[in-house]
Structures are given as C-alpha cells and as structure tokens.
Amino acid sequence: MTFLILAVIVLFVLAGIRVMSIAALSAELRNNRKDDIITDAENRNQGNLWVVFLIAFFGFCAWQLYAYGDKILPEAASAHGPAIDNLFYTTLALITVVFILTHIVLVFQAYKHAGKTGKRATYFAHSNKLELIWTVIPAVVLTGLIAYGLTVWNDVIYPGDKQATVIELYSKQFDWTARYAGKDNTLGRSDFRTIGEGNDLGLIEDSKSDDDIIVKGEFHLVKGEPVQFKFRSRDVIHSAYMPHFRAQMNCVPGMETMFEFTPTITTAEMREKLNNPEFNYVLLCNKICGAAHYNMQMDIIVESKEDNLKWLAEQKTWAQTKAAATQTAATNQESTATATLDK
Amino acid sequence: MSAMDSNNTHPEHDVQILPGVHQHEHAHAHAHAHAHAHAHDHDDEHEHHDTFITKYIFTQDHKMIAKQFLMTAIFMAVIAMLMSIVFRLQLAWPGKSFPILEPILGKWAPGGVLNPDFYLALVTIHGTIMVFFVLTGGLSGTFSNLLIPLQIGARDMASGFLNMLSFWFFAASSVIMLFSVTIESGPASGGWTIYPPLSALEQAMPGSGLGMTLWLISMTLFIVSSLLGSLNYIVTIINLRTKGMSMTRLPLTIWAFLVTAILGVLSFPVLFAAALLLIFDRSFGTSFYLSDIYIGGQALEHNGGSPILYEHLFWFLGHPEVYIVLLPALGITSEVIATNARKPIFGYRAMIASILGIAFLSFIVWGHHMFITGMNPFLGSVFVFTTLLIAIPSAVKAFNYITTLWKGNIQFTPGMLFAIGLVSFFITGGVTGLILGDSALDINLHDTYFVVAHFHLVMGSAAIFGMFAGVYHWFPKMFGRVMNKKLGFAHFWLTFAGAYGVFFPMHFLGLAGVPRRYYSNTEFPIFNDLVDINVLVTWFAILAAVSQIIFLFNFFFSVFRGQKSSQNPWKSNTLEWTTPVEHIHGNWPGEIPEVHRWAYDYSKPDREEDFVLQTTPLTEKEIAEGAH
C-alpha cells in the first residue's frame, strides 16, 4: 500500500513538473511547428511505452489480486452459493484469458508496427475466413455460457417444492423488520392503511397474524433448513442484500417479492473459520433509498434447530405484544384517572 | 430527394434548406454557374452578413454549432469531474474534515464534512451530467454536427435552424441542471436513474422536491434537443450525400452517427413518456408508479401503480443510451485508427454489420438491469440470452481494430493513443459484461461496485477516450490549428493510468459485496479491511483530474496559439480534409467534390502516396479488381 501511495505521489510530482514547465513549454510551442508530424523517435517511444504500460497494468492487476484476492467473494454460506461461485469462476477464467490475450496482441501490434519513415503498411482490408472465425468462436462459447448460466439461474430461482419456513423482511427508511409466520407457518395479511402506533407493519387483525413473531436488530435462521423470504416495502424501493448467502431481491412498495435459500454454515462455525469472534452475517440495503441508505442493516444469525426453537420461544407473538401494550395503556389510563381523582 | 442526388445538381433545393447559404443574384461568368449560386468565391462579401450574434451565438452553421456543443460539454465535464473528486474524498476518508469544502459547498459540508444528502446529490448529478450532457449531447452534438456534412459532402445540415434550436435547448437544459445544484433543498438525489417512489415523494428525501422538478424540466429540454439533433442527422445522412457517396462508401464515423441517431429517435421519446408520467405522479396525484405507500406518518392515496413500470420505461431508453454513448466513440475510433495505422479499417462491412447488430440487440436487453426487481424469472432468462449475444458483434469490433493495427505503419498521434486506449477499455470493461449479464451472477453483484467498475470502463472511460481521440484528431478541422503533441502524450498516459487506477480496483470492492451509492462503508465491520482500496482509488481519481489541466491548457492554448494546420494534416482520405482550413459557409468554395471510392484506401499498392482521397477516381485496374 505504502509502495502504491509512493508511486502515486511520484506520478503526481511528474504531473506537477509537467504543469509547472508550461511556461517553458509555451515558449517552445511557438517554435515547435511539427505537431502534425510524429517523428520516428516519438513513434518508437510511444510503441515502447505501450509495452511498459502493459507490464505495469498486469503487475497492478496481479498485485491487487494478491492483496485483495482473499477478501472477494467471502465463503458462500447457502446451499446454492457454490453453484453461483462456480459459474462466476468459470466465467472469470474465460474472460481473464480473453482479457490477457487480446491485450498482449493489441500492445504487441503497437510495439511491433510503430511508424517509421519509408515503411509502408500492408493493404489488408478484409478476410472472410478471419471474420468467420471470430464470429463463430465467440458464438459457440457464449452458447455454452448462456446454457450454463440459465441452468444455475433456474436452480436458484425455482428451488423445488421442499417445504420452506416463511419469513417476511419488511423495509422502510431506514431499517429492517423480520416477521416469522409462527406456528401456522402462514403470515397474517397486511394493509398499509392500518399502519400506526403498535402496528408498524400494517397487519390486519385475525387469527393468522396473532401468532406472528416480529423482531428487529437481528433475525435467526436454521442451518440446513430452507427459508422462503417475502419482501415488502413501506415507502421507497429497497433491496435486501445478503452477500454471504449470494442472495438479493428488491423490496418494492405495492408488491411482494420472494427469494428462497438454505443456509449451510452457522454463525459460530463461520466465526471459527474466519477466526473472528465478532463476525456476523448481515442483511444490507442495496438500492438507494435516502440519506441513511449506507447504514440500513440487520444482523443474521444462523444456528442449529434447537437453538432456533429456544430463541423463538423467547420472542413475543404479535398477540402477546398487543396484550402487553393494551395492559400498559390501561395501567397508564388508570393512573391518570387516579391522579385526576386525587385532585 | 433521392439518396443519390448530389447537391450541385439541385442548387435551388439546397438554397431553400440551407439558411447559412445565400444565393447571389449577380451572375457569374463561369462554366458551372448554377453550382456557383451557393458557392462562395466571395467570402469577404459574407463577412458583413455575419454579426457577432449570428456568427458565434445564434449560428446556423454546423461547424460553429459543433464547437458550441464541445465547449458546453467541456464545461459540464469539468463540473461533473470536480463533483466526483468531492465524493471520492468522503469515500476514502469518511468523516474527515476538508476545510476547503465548507466555503464552496456551504451548508452541505458543515465543518468541511460532506453531508449524506448532498453526497447522494453529487453522485446523482455527476451521473446525469456525464451520461447525458457530456457523452450524449457533447459527444454526438460535437462530432455528428462537425463531421456529417463535411464527411458526406454536404454544405450544411438539412436544417440549420433546427440544428441551432438543438444546441439552445441543450444549453438551456444544462443551465437548469446546474442551477438545480444551487437551490436550498438541493438537486435531485435519487441516483441518475431516479427510480420512484424515491424520486416521486418529497417526503422521501429533500432532493425529491424542487430539485427533482428542475431535473425533470432539464431532461425534457434535453430530450427535445436530442430529438431535433437526431432527426437532423438522419435526414442529412440519407438525403444530402454528395454524388458517388453511396452508403457503402461512407466513413464508419457516419455509419455510427446514423445508427446512434436512430437509436436516439426510437428511445428518447420513451424516456420522455417515463418522465411525463413521473411528473403526473408528483404533481397531479396520479398513480402510475405509486401504490401502498406509507411515508412521513401518513398513508398516501396513490393506489394501483408500480415502480417496476418506471424501471421498464427507463431502461428501454437506458440501455440503448449506453450505445448512444458508445457507438459514436467507436465510429471515431474506426476512423482515427485506420488513418493513423495507415491501413484500411479491417472488415468494413463486418463493422457496419456489427454496428447494426449492436443497435438492434440494444433494444431487447433492457431487462438485464432488472433481474432482481421482482420481474418474472422466466423473462429474466430471455434477457440473459439477448444480453450475452451482444458480446458477438462487440468481439468482432475489438478483433477488427486489432487486425487493423497489424502490419500497419502506426503514427502515434495523441488521437491515435486515445483510440487505442478506447480499445483497451472496451475489452476490459466489456468482458465483465458477461458476468453482469448472467442473471445468476447478477443476484450477488447487482448494484455493487462491480457494476460501477464495469460501466465506467466500458461506457464511461471508453466513450470519453473516443471523445478525446476525436478532439485531438479533428481539432485542426475545428480551429485550423494542431494541438501540441507532447502535452497530448502526457495527457494520454496520465489519464489512461488514472482511469485504470480508479476503476479496476472497484471490481474487488464489488466482489466483496460493497454496495454503490453508500456515503461510507464504515458502518459494516465486514468492509473494514477494504478501506485502503478506497484511498487508492481516490488518489488515482485526483491524478486523473489533475491531468485534465494539461488537456485544458493545451486545448485553449492551441485554439489561439497552436501550430497552423495544413489542409490535410493527418494525410487522411475523407472529404472533410478537402475543405479549406479557414471555415466558410457551405464548406467548399467551388463545387462539392464527387466521391469515387470508399474512405479507407490507405497504403494501397501501386500508389506512390500512402493515402488516396475519396475524390480520386478509380483506375481501370482498380475497377477490374472489383473496387467499389
């Protein structure tokens, strides 16, 4: 890093010298009347500079891969994650080869065929054979890539009919709320017009919503159990992004969206793997939604079935929350009444 | 007028549609008297027809309009670039105080720390200006205007008046866009794509109030400008080509401008529709995009709309827009590379076919911006298919550029360096399109810095390099002088290194899961060890920005003091280099030259010179060999 900052500073100084020598240059400019002719020496220099560039550029790419390679694509913690990662690395390998080869060929032309007085270019206007080659080869490769990509896409988006736990992720400026379907595994219905004090999610009162469990700050998933997320938004578009699970879906006001996956590594296991006891999976917002967009997050805990049941048992259902609220309100009212009477 | 009509066989018609050209009443004793009716042996006589206002301000001359577009674009680009430096400072050193910011930004940077609302405003306006005002208006406006009449052999655009209107609508929209930055509640801040409901509701963010209204007004004027320009370009190219200039003899620049204009005419009206419906939702209580919203403590009346509709409409323009930005740059590159490699462009017809192929496909790929919006996954599959197909014509173009260099006699003019730089960006940025176009991979990378890296390389840097290549190459045509080559070399290498230094590391941020449009990444422990990438990127951004001082100095110095250009400084084949160095109305003093060959006979065997002007008749031998 220090090396790079130094390199940048050196480049700066070079730029600075350039700019400062403008006065000197401008005097030269008036005498230098050959701006439309590139001399042989200049052509040679520029041809060589392309080689220098290529080496520096590839070096830069390699250095970044070395410095940041272990931070990209954190280990996938969902069942479908490795399939996406494999597709990614396959595509990456392919495009890296194309990227390197074409750049070598491109820069080699610049180096080899730099202009020289008296030299003459070869008149070579077209070749059906070459054109055919570089139309057909990409077409074939792409066909394979499309087929591979769509297979993965279908597997991820249509995960099969295994019964999944339903969890709602509800977004608003600027936080997330998770709602578990409770014992009936059915989320109670909602209507945005009922949003109000004590009813942040706009739930409709009925037996289906009474056993729903609403949590903030963090939500818990079970390792190895498929979970189907249903996303809603109260105000603007948000996007539920869970990078470790290779999962993302927009939350759109006025409609419900869905995404399903199966977590495969518990938080504890991941902490051990990363040797980082502070580590947490995270849900973040990935669609610009306003000033605090950069800090709209919720922690995700993946745990065993037993731990999960224990945790769920500690949470209040919506019916319990309402009852508690009514009681508090009643107590308040009573005490107010008493206070009035005392007067 | 039929496609093959030459100008000089119908002078009456020309005069009617070319306001810049006045018919002389007095007779000329000349063999081609009718041609002289609109030709100008008497330039001096015209000088006093032009006041300062008609020559420099409300001009109808395409060459002057091109310069007006270029100057406006340069000004806008400098503003947008400075904006990017301000938000890059925040990203590299979040929360750090930069005392210089407070006097400039006032309440938006209290204590020299950028405010989060204004961060989003800067990102939004940076994107809007760069995409629309610099790379659409600036790039097409400058080079289509300058080159279409000159390269096809026309005295001016089909309608000089519409052309003038096109610029002034552009200027007005630029002024409004810049003005919106200065208002109390701040400019539009919902990202350059302005997705509702964020952009529709003032309660959602301060920038969605008056700032958004001004944005919409500005963009409406911009669309008018773009449509007037595009219609003019299309009509001019179809109707006003000189004798002998068949479609397959057109330089690739003109092909690119033509297809770009067609894309614009077909897609900008859809953006206009999207903007209009948004205006309705914002101001007149309709519900095209809004439904079931509770914001600011109340449930809104809007019912039944869908933000997804907006996304469809927006990206129906938005994706062709990428090619509206890129195709002119590729056209310029074709011309600059062929001229300076001293070789015919390789695969001329394949290049035309690939332009047409890209243009066609660009209309049926917009859904790849919406894989994870809740759009039907099957529809997503269709868009994956069409999107990845674009790689085929793109690959053909890249390989053809490289083959054009092969066994050339490459003259590394600054324009040529930028053109080769474009090819490099086009490849580096293009290949990651195969990742983002794949819906399964987009799940994880959508809206991350990977996307920012991808489009800044393939459409941002590539298109801006195309623009630079064009400026250096046609500067002699615009100002009669040549830009300093040494400053050009320095400008190229520093900018090239700067751009790669800024955008390449962003791939790593994106793969680590860092979302775009985040005011800072410090709220997430998982991004803690990525902070130094942002520092690196910002230093390179500053380097690239400082390098533009070299360009600006060179540009303005050369306008007044540069070396005087010869008529054909790059020894090029195309028609614009047969006009006099000094600009005159109607471009050619005598008859418009007739064209006898394609634009790319560089280093033709049996010729002494390594270029053959398009006006040179074919020899018997060439005809026998099947030349056209």
Q: How far apart are CA B138 and CA B123, in angstroms?
A: 20
Inter-chain residue contact A115 with B513, CB threshold 8 Å: no
Cβ-Cβ contacts under 8 Å, A125 against chain B: 344-348, 600
Calpha distance A239→B305 (Å, rounded): 19
| Residue B323: its H or E element | helix B307-341
CA B445 – CA B440 distance, rounded (Å): 9
Among chain A residues, CA nearest to B412: A43
Chain A residues in contact with B190 by the CB 8 A cut-off are 288
Give CA–CA dist B117/B519, Å, rounded: 9
| Contact predicate B146/B66, CB 8 Å | yes
Nearest-CA residue of chain B relative to A299? B524
Backbone angles phi, psi at B521, to 5 degrees: -105, 10
Rg (CA), chain B: 25
For residue B524, the distance in angstroms to the closest alpha carbon of chain A comes to 8
B93: left (phi over 0), alpha (psi -120 to 50) or beta: beta
Q: Do the Cβ atoms of A113 and B557 come within 8 Å?
A: no
The b-or-e profile of B40-55 (16+ CB within 10 A means b, else e) is beeeeeeeeeeeeeee
Task: Identify the pLDDT of residue B58.
Answer: 87
Instruction: Indicate whether B33 pLDDT > 60.
Output: no
Show residues of chain A in contact with B606, CB under 8 Å.
none
Helices (DSSP H) in chain A: which residue ranges?
A: 2-20, 22-31, 40-68, 81-112, 128-157, 207-210, 267-274, 305-314, 318-342
Tell me the CA end-to-end span of chain B in Å, nearest whole number: 23
What's the pLDDT at A1?
55
d(CA A277, CA B528) in angstroms, rounded, equals 15
From the CA of A235, how many Å to the nearest CA of chain B? Answer: 5
pLDDT tens, residue by residue, A45-56: 999 999 999 999
CA dihedral (B486, B488, B490, B493) in degrees, to 10, reads -140
| Interchain CB distance below 8 Å, B299 and A192 | yes
Distance from CA of A185 to the nearest CA of B (A): 23
Cis peptide before A174 (omega within 30 of 0): yes
- Which regions of B64-167 does DSSP assign to beta strands (E)? none
The DSSP code sequence of B370-431 is: -TTTT--HHHHHHHHHHHHHTHHHHHHHHHHHHHHHTT--B---HHHHHHHHHHHHHHHHHH
Q: Tell me which DSSP letter residue B320 carries.
A: H
SS (H, E, C) B509-525: HHHCCCECCCCCCCCCH
Average of per-residue pLDDT across B400-429: 97
* The pLDDT of residue A31 is above 70: no
Q: How far is B474 from chain A (nearest CA, A)?
A: 11
Nearest 5°: phi and psi at A241?
Answer: -120, 120
According to the model, what pLDDT value does residue A160 have?
A: 77
- Give the closest-approach CA distance of A330 to chain B in angstroms: 25
Residue B487 lies in a domain: yes
The mean pLDDT value for B470-498 works out to: 96
**A144 chain-B contacts, CB cut-off 8 A:** none
Specify whether the CB–CB gap between B110 and B65 falls below 8 A.
no
Tokens at B27, concatenated: 């007779």
Length, in residues, of chain B:
628
The arithmetic mean of pLDDT across residues B390-419, rounded, is 96
| Residue B14: pLDDT over 80 | no
Query: pLDDT-derived band of residue A163, with 50, 70 and 90 as boundaries?
Result: confident
Higher pLDDT, A86 or A9: A86
Looking at the domain assignment, is residue B602 inside a domain? no
Residue B458 covered by a domain: yes
With 50 as the cut, is the pLDDT of residue B27 above it?
no
* Amino acid at residue number A209: S
Both tokens assigned to B465: 């390099």
Q: A17 vs chain B: nearest CA distance in angstroms? A: 11
Residue B353 inside a domain? The answer is: yes
Cβ–Cβ gap A253/B496 under 8 Å: no
The mean pLDDT value for A303-318 works out to: 94
pLDDT of B99-129, one tens digit each?
999 999 999 999 999 999 999 999 999 999 9
Which residue in A has a C-alpha nearest to residue B393's C-alpha?
A135
Judged by CB atoms closer than 8 Å, whether chains meet at A249 and B374 is answered as yes
Record: contact A84-B395, CB cut-off 8 A = no
Tokens of residue B296, six digits:
């600011």
Q: Is residue B503 part of a domain?
A: yes
Q: What is the mean pLDDT of residues B220-238?
A: 97
CA dihedral sign, ordered B449, B453, B454, B460: positive
Strand partners, A78: A263
Q: How far is B574 from chain A (nearest CA, A)?
A: 17
Closest Cβ–Cβ partner in B120, B523, B547 for A297: B523
| Neighbour count for residue A343 (Cβ, 10 Å) | 4
Residue B164 CB partners (closer than 8 Å, separation 6+):
B58, B59, B60, B65
pLDDT in the model for residue A267: 97
- Model confidence at B180, pLDDT cuts 50, 70, 90, reads very high
Q: Is the pLDDT of residue B52 over 60?
A: yes
Percent of chain B at pLDDT > 90 equals: 86
Specify the DSSP class assigned to residue B337.
H
Per the structure, the count of domains in chain B is 1
Q: How far apart are CA A45 and CA B343, in angstroms?
A: 21
d(CA B303, CA B292): 6
Whether A99 sits inside 8 A of B563 (CB atoms) is no
Percent of chain B having pLDDT more than 70? 92
Give the burial class of A275: count Cβ atoms within 10 A of its Cβ; 0-12 exposed, 13-18 middle, 19 or more buried.
exposed
Mutate to test the interface with A, among B202, B365, B409 (most CBs of A within 10 A): B409
In DSSP notation, B194-263 reads: T-TTTTT-TTT-GGGTHHHHHHHHHHHHHHHHHHHHHHHHHHHHHH-PPTT--GGGS-HHHHHHHHHHHH
Q: Under an 8 A CB cutoff, do A95 and B410 touch?
A: no
pLDDT, tens only, A276-287: 999 999 999 999
Contact B402 A106 (CB under 8 A): yes
Query: At B497, is the pLDDT very low, low, confident or very high (cuts 50, 70, 90)?
Result: very high
pLDDT exceeds cutoff 90 at B15: no
φ/ψ bin of B433: left (φ > 0), alpha (ψ from -120 to 50), beta (otherwise): alpha
Show residues of chain A in contact with B427, CB under 8 Å: 98-99, 102-103, 106
Other Cβ atoms closer than 10 A to B213: 17
Q: Which of B512, B569, B603 sits opposite A71 (nearest CB)?
A: B512
**pLDDT level of residue A182 (50, 70, 90 thresholds):** confident
pLDDT tens, position by position, B133-167: 999 999 999 999 999 999 999 999 999 999 999 99
Nearest CA in chain A to B391: A138
pLDDT band at B273 (very low <50, low <70, confident <90, very high): very high
pLDDT (0 to 100) of residue B19: 41
Q: What are chain A's domains?
A: 165-316 (2.60.40.420)
Q: Which residues pair with B482 in a beta bridge?
A: B563
d(CA B526, CA A283) in angstroms, rounded, equals 11
**Can you give the pLDDT at residue B39?**
42
Nearest CA in chain A to B346: A125
On whether the CB atoms of residues B164 and B253 are closer than 8 A, the answer is: no
Facing residue for A35 by CB, picked from B198, B389, B562? B562
**Residue B120 with chain A: CB contacts under 8 Å:** 288, 290-291, 293
CA dihedral defined by B303, B306, B307, B312, rounded to 10 degrees? -150
Question: Mean per-residue pLDDT for A287-313?
Answer: 96
Question: Is residue A330 pLDDT above 80, yes or no?
Answer: no
Q: What is the pLDDT of residue A325?
A: 82
**Residue B617 maps to a domain:** no
Three-class DSSP category at A274: helix
Whether the predicted pLDDT of A20 surpasses 60: no
Cβ of B291 within 8 Å of Cβ of A123? The answer is: no
Cα B472 to Cα B555: distance, rounded to the nearest angstrom: 9
Of B348, B417, B508, the CB nearest to A64: B508
Tell if the CB–CB gap between B512 and A252 is shorter than 8 Å: no
- Interface pTM, i.e. ipTM: 0.89
Query: Does the pLDDT at position A255 exceed 90?
Result: yes
Gyration radius (Cα) of chain A, Å: 31
> Cα distance from A75 to chain B (closest Cα, Å)?
10
d(CA B24, CA B28): 9
Q: Contact, B185 vs B211, CB < 8 A? A: yes
Closest chain A C-alpha to B348 CA, distance in angstroms: 7
Alpha-carbon distance of B82 to B79, in angstroms, equals 5
Cβ atoms within 10 A of the Cβ of A171, count? 28
Q: CB contacts < 8 Å between A and B, how many?
A: 400
Whether A61 has a pLDDT exceeding 70, the answer reads: yes
Q: Using alpha carbons, select from A231, A288, A271 the residue that is nearest to residue A74.
A: A271
Q: What is the mean pLDDT of chain B?
A: 91
Cβ contact B558:A27 at 8 Å: no
Residue B415: give the domain boundaries. 7-578
* B618 within some domain: no
Q: Do A131 and B350 touch (CB under 8 A)?
A: yes
CB-based contact B411 A146, cutoff 8 Å: no
- Check CB contact under 8 Å for A146 and B385: yes
Residue A295 has pLDDT above 50, yes or no: yes
Q: What is the pLDDT of residue A4?
A: 62
The CATH number given to whatever domain includes residue B370 is 1.20.210.10
Instruction: Work out the widest C-alpha separation in chain B, in whole angstroms.
Output: 85
Q: Which of B490, B477, B480 is nearest to B414 (CA)?
A: B490
Contact call for B295 and A239, based on CB within 8 A = no
Q: How confident is the model at residue A340 (pLDDT cuts 50, 70, 90)?
A: low
Q: A32 contacts in B (CB within 8 Å)?
A: 484, 563
Q: Measured between alpha carbons, how far is residue A306 from residues A169, A214, A221, A229, A245 in Å?
A: 23, 20, 11, 21, 22
Residue among B307, B398, B521 minimizing CB distance to A252? B307
User: Which residue of B465, B509, B511, B560 to mutate against A (max A Cβ within 10 Å)?
Assistant: B511
Reduced to 3 DSSP states, what percent helix, strand and coil does chain B have, rounded to the nearest 5? 65, 0, 35
pLDDT at B140: 95
Contact state of A36 with B565 under an 8 Å Cβ cutoff:
yes
A194 near A202, Cβ under 8 Å?
Answer: yes
Res A2: pLDDT: 58
Average pLDDT, stretch A85-95? 97
Domain assignment of residue B610, yes or no: no
Indicate the SS3 state at residue A87.
helix
pLDDT of residue A328: 79
Q: Determine whether the interchain pair A122/B295 forms a contact, defined as Cβ–Cβ distance below 8 Å.
A: no
Which residues, at least 6 apart from B557, have a Cβ–Cβ distance to it below 8 Å? A26, A29, B484
- The pLDDT assigned to A58 comes to 97
**Nearest CB neighbour to A1, from listed B195, B508, B532:** B532
CA distance B100 to chain A (A): 20
Q: Looking at the predicted structure, is the pLDDT value of residue A174 above 60?
A: yes
pLDDT at position B18, please? 41
Count of CB atoms situated within 10 Å of the CB of B129: 26
- What pLDDT sits at residue A197? 86
Q: A213 and A203 in contact (C-beta within 8 Å)?
A: no
pLDDT confidence bin for B56, thresholds 50/70/90? confident
Which residue of chain B has the CA closest to A36?
B569
Average pLDDT over residues B359-368: 95
Q: Do A119 and B409 touch (CB under 8 A)?
A: yes
pLDDT of residue A324: 86
For tokens 């996938």, the residue is A76
Distant-in-sequence, close-in-space partners of B481: CB < 8 Å, separation ≥ 6: B475, B558, B559, B561, B562, B563, B564, B565
CA-based nearest distance A340→chain B, Å: 31
- Cβ within 8 Å, pair A250-B536: no
Question: How far is B205 from B117, CA to CA, in rounded Å?
Answer: 8
- B105 vs B49, more confident: B105
